[in-house]
Amino acid sequence: MPNASNAAQTPQARHRIEPVAEDLGRLFRAAGFQLALVGGSVRDTLLGRLGNDLDFTTDARPEQVLRILRPWADAVWEVGIAFGTVGARKDTEDRDFQIEITTYRSEVYDRTSRKPEVSYGDTIEEDLLRRDFTVNAMAVALPGPDFIDPYGGLDDLAARVLRTPGTPESSFSDDPLRMMRAARFAAQLDFEVAPEVVAAMTEMADRISIVSAERIRDELNKLLLSAHPRKGLRLLVDTGLADRVLPELSALRLERDEHFRHKDVYEHTLTVLEQAIDLETDGPDLTLRLAALLHDIGKPRTRRFEPDGRVSFHHHEVVGAKLTKARMTQLKYPNDQIKDVSRLVELHLRFHGYGSGEWTDSAVRRYVRDAGPLLERLHKLTRSDCTTRNKRKALALSRTYDSLEARIAELKEQEELDAIRPDLDGNRIMEVLGIPPGPAVGRAYQHLLELRLENGPLGEEGAEAALREWWAAQQ
């Protein structure tokens, strides 16, 4: 039986309710409606990780929500209105809040279609029951605040476990995407998924096929951008979900070599991903993370056991780039991102031709040119693609990469110098001085280049004057 406990029992919830939320609660009450902070906002408030997103639920219908919000909010969005959601922005002195207010739902799903059908509900308990996990099914009624937790979300939050409000089977039948969300929240929150939920995910993994590629991609992205992607990816692979959404990842596990003639590509990949994350400098980088995740997916297809007992994966980077493109296209990633990630996969091995620094300048230049704007990411990917336990080997590899980066920096500096031209070209010099082609033109050119390097640009007139002066001194 649903029961509402008072906020007094959860002082944490009381202390961290945003004044903006309280304000809005008073407005709704004055208009005769209920309003509650809900879902991720309540969970994150209790975990102390609330951002600027506030999610609310209400018994008011979208048109009524609009009427209350318009005079109060700084901007209002109606894009989600067909699903019962109104979006808004409220700017306060210290920060701006993104607000979403959704009318109570009692969702009826057409279990064969890809989209939930929306129908409005009358009570908050019913609304909470159709939410994905108990930790996302808590609410704080406002102004109050009254803490509403009919499904034991607070206990699960304390135990750091993901459990469904109803049975996992019926929840996942209603919306199979929730199986992906379990893996995503495990990765984001570093929570465990309850055993019966894992069992249902394993049993029902096939059902994910009715979910649209876009929804799957969005959850996969959130999982990858989280703090603990290894945990979420493992869940996807262990439950068989990865076989449906990212079979190339599961395939890496099948590549475990029973004779230990090569390293475990699956474990290697997860470690490379974590090492790439450690090298990020400006926050989570989806392109880099996808490239790390996919860099070796060409290996299963290219593995050969050579007569000498060794194992080879010839051209796995080329095959991997193709597979990357196909998978990301299927998951409806944007074209630019597909191009970038598959390019990185294709280039991830190039450095290994560098040996201990044998590349010519032109090989270094080609490396830089082929990577283009992806060069910084390629540095990170290549550096993280070393999971040997042999510390000396790892150090040597990283030193060699340092030396490549140093050569790139040196070349860049030189190229910039090389790119500098005097203010006048040979033709102008001949015109200005009225002389035919000959060694004097070359000397004049050299002189102007020296002046240019010494003083920076002289401008057309200044350069002409300097040229005449120099010429006079030559006579």
Residue from 28, 36, 54, 55 binding ligand ATP (CB under 6 A): 55
> Which entry of ligand ATP, Mg ion, none binds 131, CB below 5 to 8 A by partner kind?
ligand ATP
Could you give the C-alpha distances from 382 to 288, 297, 346, in angstroms and in order?
A: 11, 15, 11
Q: How far is the CB of 38 from ligand ATP (least distance, A)?
A: 7
Site string for ligand ATP, 219-238 (x = CB under 6 A): ---x----------------
127 contacts 121 by C-beta, under 8 angstroms: yes
Q: Looking up tokens 């993901």, which residue turns up?
A: 162
* Coil, strand or helix at 310: coil
Q: How far is the CB of 129 from ligand ATP (least distance, A)?
A: 10
**Taking the CB of residue 115, how many other CB atoms lie within 10 A of it?**
13
Q: How far is the CB of 66 from ligand ATP (least distance, A)?
A: 20
Q: How far is the CB of 98 from Mg ion (least distance, A)?
A: 9
**Residues whose CB is less than 8 angstroms from the CB of residue 56 and which lie 6 or more positions away in sequence, other chains included:** 21, 24, 35, 36, 37, 38, 41, 99, 100, 101, 102
Nearer to ligand ATP, 134 or 287 (CB): 134
| 87 forms part of the interface with Mg ion (CB under 5 A) | no
Strand partners, 139: 38, 148
| 39 forms part of the interface with ligand ATP (CB under 6 A) | yes
Site string for ligand ATP, 92-131 (x = CB under 6 A): ---------------------------------------x
Q: How far apart are CA 84 and CA 207, in angstroms?
A: 26
- Return the residues of window 23-82 that contact Mg ion according to CB under 5 A: 40
**Residues whose CB is less than 8 angstroms from the CB of residue 111 and which lie 6 or more positions away in sequence, other chains included:** 173, 174, 210
Nearer to ligand ATP, 151 or 354 (CB): 151
The DSSP annotation for 384-418 comes to: HS---S-HHHHHHHHHHHHHHHHHHHHHHHHHHHH
> Which entry of ligand ATP, Mg ion, none binds 136, CB below 5 to 8 A by partner kind?
ligand ATP
Site string for ligand ATP, 147-186 (x = CB under 6 A): ----------------------------x-xx--------
Report residue 187 as tokens. Answer: 């990765």
Given the rule CB under 6 A, which residues bind ligand ATP? 39-40, 53, 55, 131-132, 136, 175, 177-178, 222
